[in-house]
Amino acid sequence: MSVGTPDDKRLQKEYQMVVKRHRPPVPAARNALRAFVVGGLVCDLGQFIQYLYMRVGGFDREAAANPTAATLVFVAILLTGLGLYDRFAQWAGAGSAVPITGFANAMSSSAIEAKSEGLVLGVGANMFKVAGPVIVFGVVAAFFVTLIRAVLPRILG
């Protein structure tokens, strides 16, 4: 048999049917609900931390935003280092990946995995594999948003 023959296509189709028959069903609704609830709870935790900075630390709402983000990042990195965040993320799904804590987990996981390769070529390079696309996307998005904000008022009026 050569590649691309009708027999190959038939075998591929049969294989796909066998895989589909043996694949466990994906509880999409449950996963979506769990991700929504967990993501909301992570955000609620962030709001609570911000409230503490405002109430106890005397920060105003805007000034409390940066230490709140730093605290969430610290907690996520600490839980990643202790091996707890991955178990939580397996259960929580996308709800743990979307907030800033998910990005902190991705960065610190990359760093932990590559520490044996050295600080620069291991930790630094692997962290940039994760952070690089995020930084590039953020800069490009900021450029276009700024461009639209600068041009749109002149067009409209």
The answer, yes or no, to whether residue 58 has pLDDT greater than 60, is yes
Greater pLDDT, 81 or 133: 81
Owning domain of residue 24: 6-113
Tell me the C-alpha distance between 130 and 128, whole Å.
Answer: 5
| Position 128 in a domain | no
The answer, yes or no, to whether residue 4 has pLDDT greater than 80, is no
**Mean pLDDT score of the chain, rounded to an integer?**
88
| Position 64 in a domain | yes
For helices 28-55 and 61-81, the axis angle rounded to 10 degrees is 130
70 SS3 class: helix
Integer Rg of the chain from CA: 23
| Position 13 in a domain | yes
Identify the sign of the CA torsion 119, 123, 124, 126: positive
Highest mean pLDDT among 19-23, 83-87, 108-112, 115-119: 83-87
Distances (CA, A) of 39 to 3, 43, 67, 97: 47, 6, 20, 8
| Position 19 in a domain | yes
Residue 51: the pLDDT is: 97
Tell me the C-alpha distance between 144 and 138, whole Å.
Answer: 10
Q: How many domains does the chain have?
A: 1
45 C-beta neighbours (distance < 10 Å), count: 16
| Position 34 in a domain | yes
Residues belonging to the chain: 157
Give mean pLDDT, residues 21-39: 91
* pLDDT tens digits, 112-133: 888 888 888 888 788 888 788 8
Whether the model clears a pTM of 0.85, i.e. scores above it, the answer is no
The answer, yes or no, to whether residue 1 has pLDDT greater than 50, is no
| Position 133 in a domain | no
| Position 127 in a domain | no
Tell me the C-alpha distance between 101 and 132, whole Å.
Answer: 17
Greater pLDDT, 110 or 60: 60
95 C-beta neighbours (distance < 10 Å), count: 24
| Position 118 in a domain | no
The answer, yes or no, to whether residue 72 has pLDDT greater than 80, is yes
Tell me the C-alpha distance between 36 and 44, whole Å.
Answer: 12
The answer, yes or no, to whether residue 3 has pLDDT greater than 70, is no
